[in-house]
Amino acid sequence: MIRTRTRTVTTIVFAAVLAAALAGCGGSGTATPSPSTPSPTKSATPTPTPTPALVPTDTAAPANLPTDCNTLATPEVRQAAIGDLTLQSDGVGFIRPVPANATLVLGCDWIVGDSTGMLLLISTAAPADVAAAVTTLPGLGYECGVSDDFGADFCQLAGGGPDTEEMIVARDGMWIYLSTSNRNGRAFLSDIASGIWG
C-alpha cells in the first residue's frame, strides 16, 4: 500500500512539474501565429528616360556637283575659257586655301604653252568649316565680299602677272577655287557656280 501511494504521489508531482514547464514555454497557451511570408510587392516599372532630341548637324545643302572637267559650264562659255587648253591633271596634290576636313570633288588643271592655264578645284566641307575658312582669306591677301553674281562669298587675289589671279566662291558647304594665268576665267567661274546652285 505504501508503494502504490508513493508511486501515485510521484506521478502527481511529475505531472505538476511537467504542466508548469509547459505553461512556462507556452506563455498564455494560445498559439502564436507564425509571421506570414510577405507577398511579393510589385516593383515599379522604371520610367523611360527621355531621349534628347537630335540636334541637326551642319550639312552641306544639296548641290549639282560637277563630275567631269569636260562638261563644266555651257558649251559656249567652256569653249571661250578653255577650248584651246589641254587637260593635264586631276588637280590632286595642289596646295591651295581650302576649308578644314574638305573633300576634293573635282580637280581640273588645263594648260597650253608655258604660261597660260587654269586650275579648278571644287571641294565640299561642313558649312561651318567653309564659313570659317572664308574668314582666313583676307589674312592671305584676298579681298572678300558677297557677290550678287554668285550669290555667295567671293574672294579674289591678284597674282604676279597682269592676267593672273585666284578666285574662291564659297557657299552651302561648297568651295570652288579657280586660278588663272593669262586667261580671264570669271565668266567660266560664274557659269560653273550657276550650274551648281541654279
Domain coordinates in residue numbering, the chain: 69-197
Amino acid at 132: A
CA 155, CA 145: separation in Å to the nearest integer?
6
More confident position, 190 or 63:
190
CATH architecture of 69-197: 3-Layer(aba) Sandwich (3.40)
Q: Name the phi and psi angles at 193, rounded to 5.
A: -60, -40
More confident position, 61 or 8:
61
> What residues contact 115, with CB distance under 8 A and at least 6 apart?
161, 181, 182
Give residue 123's region: left, alpha or beta (phi > 0; psi -120 to 50).
beta
pLDDT 10s digits, 105-128: 999 999 998 889 999 999 999 999
pLDDT 10s digits, 41-98: 444 444 444 433 333 344 444 458 999 999 999 999 999 999 999 999 999 999 999 9
Nine cell digits for residue 65: 556637283
